[in-house]
Amino acid sequence: MALIVQKYGGSSLADAAKIRDVARRIASAEERGDKVVVVTSAMGETTDGLISLAYQVSDRPDERELDSLLSTGEIVSSTLLAMALKSLGYEAISLSGAQAGIRTDTAHSRARIRGVVPDRVIKELEAGKIVIVAGFQGLTEEKDIATLGRGGSDITAVALAAGLGAERCEIYTDVDGIYTADPHLVPEARKLDQIGYEEMMELACYGARVMHPRAVELSELYGIPILVASSFSEKPGTLVHGGIAMEVRNKVRGIAQDLNVAKVTILGVPDRPGIATTIFEPLARANVNVDTIVQNASVERITDLTFTVAKSDLDKAIAVVEPVVEAIGARGCVSDANLGKMSIVGAGMQSTPGYASRMFRVLYDQGINIELITTSEIRITCIIDEARVGDAVRALHHAFDLGKGN
Ligand code: ASP
Ligand code: MG
C-alpha cells in the first residue's frame, strides 16, 4: 500500500461534472489499495475572476485581504471534491492549507513554504479518510493566510508529498504529459515517457507551462518522483525523476518557448566598477524581474548592456532606467517589445560539442536573426523576433530528430 499525493489542476475541476469525474478517479486509486492525499487548484478560471473582483473595488487591493480572498478558490474546489467523494460512499475530508500544516513566510502573493506540519493530515489518513487539501495557500507565523504565487498548487502538492514521505506525487492536468515541444506549435511533438529533474527544471523555467518550476526544484531536493498525466484519459503520462540513464542517444530532450520577452539596451555605458549596481539596484527595488543580462566586452572603456524583462514590465523598466542613463553618462537606451525566446534542453548536451553551432545553423537556414544567446550546461537559449518563434521551434524539432523515440 503506497501513499501518493495527487494534484488536480483548475481545468480538471472546472465544473460539477468534472469534479465528480475526478472523485471517481480518486476512488479507483483507493480501490487499488493506495492511500491518497489530494491537492486541488481552484475551479477553472476562478482565481482570475477573484483578482478582477478585487481590482473592481480597489486600485491597489490590500495584499493580506487579497491573499485571503484568493485562497477561497481552492477552498471551494476542495470542499466540493470531498462532498463528491462522500456521495460515492468514501470517507473524505477537506482541509485548508492552514489546517493541513502548510507554513509559509509573510511574502503575500508569493509566499515560500517554510515547512509542513502534517499532523492533521496523518490523523485523518489513519482514520481511513481520503484527505483533500486546498492548494496554493498556507499560514504565516502571524496566522494570516498567504498564497504561493500563480500556479502554486503544484508546490503545495510536492511539499506535502515530501512532508508525508509519499512514494510519489501525481500531477493531473489537461495535457497527457511532457512533450518534446508544444504540440500546438509542432504537430510531430512526442510525449516523453520520462525526463530528469534538471531537464524538467530548464524546460519549466524557459516556458513549458505544465509544471511550476518551484515544484520541480522541491521534487529534486526531496527526491520525489512526479508523474504528469491527463485527468481526462488513462494514458500513462511522463515520469519526472532522477534515475535517467546517463547515455541517451538523442541528446536534445525537448524545446521550450516563451513569447513574453522584451529587451532593453543601454548604449555607450562607461566601463567602470559600480555601473551594473547603479542600473540593476533600482530595477530590483521597483520589483522588475530581470531575466537575461548581457554586457559586451568594452572598446575604449565604453560598452553596451542589454537585459530582458517580461513584456508587462517593459514600461516600468524604461521609467527606472532612463534617469540612470543620464546619471551615468551613457549614450541612450533603446528597447524592443516584440521578442520571444526558445531553448533546446538536454542533459546529454553538456558532454558533447556542436549543439550550439547546429542550432545556429538551423536558425540561419530559416533566415532568423538571433538577438541574444544564453546558455546553461544543459540548455541553449536564443532570443529572436516573436513572429519567428514557431518556425524556429519546428525547424529545431526536425533538425534534432525529436519526433523519433530515443
Ligand atoms: N488557483 C491558483 C492559480 O490559478 C493556483 C493554481 O492553480 O495552482 O494560479
Ligand atoms: Mg489555476
Bridge partner list, 320: none
pLDDT attached to residue 245: 67
pLDDT attached to residue 349: 86
Is residue 372 within 8 Å of 263, Cβ to Cβ? yes
Collect residues with CB below 5 Å from ion ligand 2.
Answer: 10, 41
What H or E segment, with its residue span, contains residue 132?
strand 130-134
The set of cell numbers assigned to 233 is 484519459
Is residue 74 within 8 Å of 147, Cβ to Cβ? no
Distance 255 CA to ligand 1 centre (A): 24
Q: Is pLDDT at 246 greater than 60 in this prediction?
A: no
Other Cβ atoms within 10 Å of 288 Cβ, number: 21
pLDDT one-digit tens code per residue, 352-392? 889 999 999 999 999 999 999 999 999 999 999 999 999 99
Distance 42 CA to ligand 1 centre (A): 6
- Site to probe by mutation for ligand 1, drawn from 6, 40, 41, 147 as the one with most ligand atoms within 8 Å of Cβ, is 41
Distance 382 CA to ligand 1 centre (A): 29
Which has the closest alpha carbon to 256: 288, 217, 220, 209? 209
Which has the closest alpha carbon to 37: 88, 95, 112, 77? 95
Fold adopted by 3-174: Carbamate kinase (3.40.1160)
Query: Confidence band (pLDDT; 50, 70, 90) for 98?
Result: very high
Query: Confidence band (pLDDT; 50, 70, 90) for 297?
Result: confident
Q: Which atom of ligand 1 is nearest to the CA of 73?
A: 1
Conformational region of residue 143, where left means phi above 0, alpha means psi within -120 to 50, and beta covers everything else: left
Other Cβ atoms within 10 Å of 32 Cβ, number: 10
Query: Confidence band (pLDDT; 50, 70, 90) for 133?
Result: very high
The set of cell numbers assigned to 214 is 518551484
pLDDT attached to residue 243: 79
Is residue 387 within 8 Å of 336, Cβ to Cβ? no
Establish whether residue 77 lines the binding site of ligand 1, counting it when its CB lies within 6 angstroms of any ligand atom: no
Other Cβ atoms within 10 Å of 36 Cβ, number: 25
Query: Confidence band (pLDDT; 50, 70, 90) for 248?
Result: low
| 254-270 vs 332-345, strand pairing mode | antiparallel
Q: Is pLDDT at 250 greater than 80 in this prediction?
A: no
Establish whether residue 151 lines the binding site of ligand 1, counting it when its CB lies within 6 angstroms of any ligand atom: yes
Is the domain spanning 255-399 CATH 3.30.70.20? The answer is no
Average pLDDT, the chain: 94
Rounded to 10 deg, the angle between the 389-399 and 355-365 helix axes is 130
217 Cβ partners below 8 Å, 6+ apart?
Answer: 201
3-state SS assignment for residue 97: coil
Is residue 240 within 8 Å of 286, Cβ to Cβ? no
Distance 213 CA to ligand 1 centre (A): 14
Domain map (residue ranges) of the chain: 3-174, 255-399
| Spatial separation of the C-alpha atoms in residues 148 and 154, rounded to whole Å | 10
